[in-house]
Amino acid sequence: MRMDQLVRWTCDCLRLYTSRNALQLEYQMGSPTSFVLDDDMEERVQHLADSRKQTSQAIICEAVAQYVAREERRAALCRDVLQAWETFQRTGVHATAEDVDRWLVNWGTEDEAPAPACHA
């Protein structure tokens, strides 16, 4: 499919319009979002789509969904780390690196011990 052709495609709740390397994602219940693919990326997406016997729009939709899921997991991890740091700052409760290292040596074996106890 040539990018200079106007294509309308729906994937789940997204509508994707392509026109001369410009992509516009429009949520059915939201406002449109646009971005531009350079020629190299356009060719890479099309090559991948051809090899999977899918449309380039399906590849892009999958990529956006995977990116958003990954970034949501990253944001959740950052929140958890900050919460743990704030708890440590407030309470001083922790496990030492040495305790954790000793525990991890036998992790997943028959000799696996419970997680080390935290202390102040």
- pLDDT for the residue numbered 34: 65
- The Cα–Cα gap between 87 and 118 comes to 12
pLDDT, averaged across the chain: 78
The residue type found at 69 is: A
Residue 119 has pLDDT above 80, yes or no: yes
pLDDT at 120: 87
pLDDT higher than 60, residue 21: no
Q: In terms of C-beta density within 10 A (0-12 exposed, 13-18 middle, 19 or more buried), how is residue 7 classed?
A: middle
- Cβ-contact 20, 37 below 8 angstroms: no
State how beta strands 14-19 and 7-11 pair: antiparallel
Bigger pLDDT: 23 or 3?
A: 23
* Span 53-100, pLDDT tens digits: 998 888 888 898 899 999 999 999 999 999 999 999 999 999 999 999
Q: What is the phi/psi pair of residue 11, to 5°?
A: -130, 115
pLDDT of residue 58: 84
Judge contact between 49 and 58, C-beta under 8 A: yes
Q: Which residue has the higher pLDDT, 21 or 65?
A: 65
CA distances from 57 to 46, 62, 65 (A): 9, 9, 12
Residue 98: its pLDDT value, please? 93
